[in-house]
């Protein structure tokens, strides 16, 4: 699995690119169609599309003269395995806190109300 989280996150760290991803989540679109709602030029949108493409978040196919974009299947799923791993790091912290509390508050002892 070619995982490049830095590239993914850098690509998503821009509001225009997030909006493009949100638009593509609704279905395929050309760069012209993607550019329509934005007050910025089509070449600027093309640059954003290129960054998303290089990050593996979107795919483009050739359809005659059109090159429509779509979301890469599972592109954002690569975040999921991290969730499981990150939980482990957090749980390790809390296990340490359990041990700390066990020393200061042995089972059965209650704080004065």
Of 39, 64, 73, 98, which one interacts with another protein (CB under 8 A)?
98
E strand or H helix at 30:
none
- Tell me the C-alpha distance between 111 and 22, whole Å: 51
Q: How far is the CB of 8 from another protein (least distance, A)?
A: 8
Q: Which stretch binds another protein (CB under 8 A): 8-16, 30-38, 42-50, 63-71?
A: 8-16
Neighbours of 23 (CB within 10 A): 17
- Shortest separation between residue 94's beta carbon and another protein, angstroms: 5
Residue 85 in the binding site for another protein (CB under 8 A): yes
Q: Does 25 bind another protein (CB under 8 A)?
A: no
Closest CA to 72 of 20, 24, 34: 24
Cα angle for residues 50, 53, 56 (degrees, 5° grid): 155
Stretch that binds another protein, among 28-36, 40-48, 59-67, 95-103 (CB under 8 A): 95-103
């Amino acid at each position: 699995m070619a995982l490049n989280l830095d590239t993914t996150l850098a690509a998503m760290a821009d509001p225009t690119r997030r909006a493009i991803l949100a638009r593509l989540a609704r279905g395929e679109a050309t760069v012209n169609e993607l550019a329509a709602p934005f007050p910025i030029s089509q070449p600027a949108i093309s640059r954003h599309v290129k960054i998303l493409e290089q990050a593996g978040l979107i795919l483009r196919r050739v359809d005659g003269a059109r090159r429509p974009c779509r979301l890469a299947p599972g592109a954002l799923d690569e975040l999921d395995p991290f969730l499981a791993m990150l939980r482990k790091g957090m749980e390790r912290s809390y296990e340490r806190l359990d041990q700390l509390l066990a020393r200061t508050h042995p089972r059965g002892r209650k704080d004065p109300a």
